[in-house]
Amino acid sequence: MDIELEEFYTFPTRVKIASILRKAIFSGDIKAGEELSLTDISNKLNVSRTPVREAFQILESENLLELRMNKGAIVKCIDDNFFKDYYEVRILLETKAIEKAINNGIDVSYLEKIHNEFEKNIESSTEEDYKKYNQNFHFYIWKNANNEKLFSILLSLSNGPSFQIIGKRNYIDDSLEEHKEIIEAIKEKNVKRAVSCVETHLNTSLKNILALKKW
């Protein structure tokens, strides 16, 4: 039976709410300095105030929100250093993940399959299709590192700016080419090349984020 990778990942309500708000912040739909009300958010999402409050706490820990006593939260200003710090952490963790995955004998056929399928259907693909493909590509490598703590941390980072970037075609084309390089490095069992490819891939994503952000 062919089961899509993302079907294995279910998230609590607080995490889903945090993801929705995080995406809105990174896209600019929610502006720096804007006040978020517990009641308003809970009403809009048709949930209780408790998971919204917990989502606010998650985003506070990520330095995206400043909590206000019994009044919700204020969106903090996000500067270039926020994105640079985020990508520095991702590079450290993802390079270790791919190193471990290769040493664990990761089966590259799944990556080849989803890469080829997306590339074949790219003309009819939506931004959501790309996001799904991109997440599956990275999640599969992380999972094959066989370190649940590492996987959990990377999974929490997967809701960050790189996965919320607007899916412009030129960026998607670049991403596909970089993914192809990663696949080739894995097939060769060349850890050094794979690590270099991941670094290049994430640094390209950072460059695109900084070019696109409208703060």
Q: Which residues pair with 72 in a beta bridge?
A: 68
Is the confidence at residue 40, as pLDDT, over 90? yes
The DSSP letter of residue 70 is: T
d(CA 65, CA 24): 13
Decide: 74 and 65 in contact? Cβ < 8 Å. yes
Residue 203 scores a pLDDT above 70: yes
Cα separation, 204 vs 66, in Å, equals 30
Q: Which domains does the chain have, with CATH numbers?
A: 8-75 (1.10.10.10), 80-212 (1.20.120.530)
The span from the CA of 76 to the CA of 109, in Å, is 42
Share of the chain above pLDDT 70, in %: 89
Residue 57 pLDDT exceeds 80: yes
Strands (E), the chain: 35-36, 65-68, 72-75
Tell me the per-residue pLDDT of 124-159, one tens digit each, with 9 for 90 and over: 988 888 888 999 999 999 999 999 999 989 988 876
30: which strand partners?
A: none
- 58, 18 contact by CB (below 8 A): yes
Higher pLDDT, 179 or 6: 179
Round to the nearest angstrom and report the end-to-end CA distance of the chain. Answer: 46
97-101, 159-163, 209-213: which has the highest mean pLDDT? 97-101
User: Which pTM value belongs to this model?
Assistant: 0.78
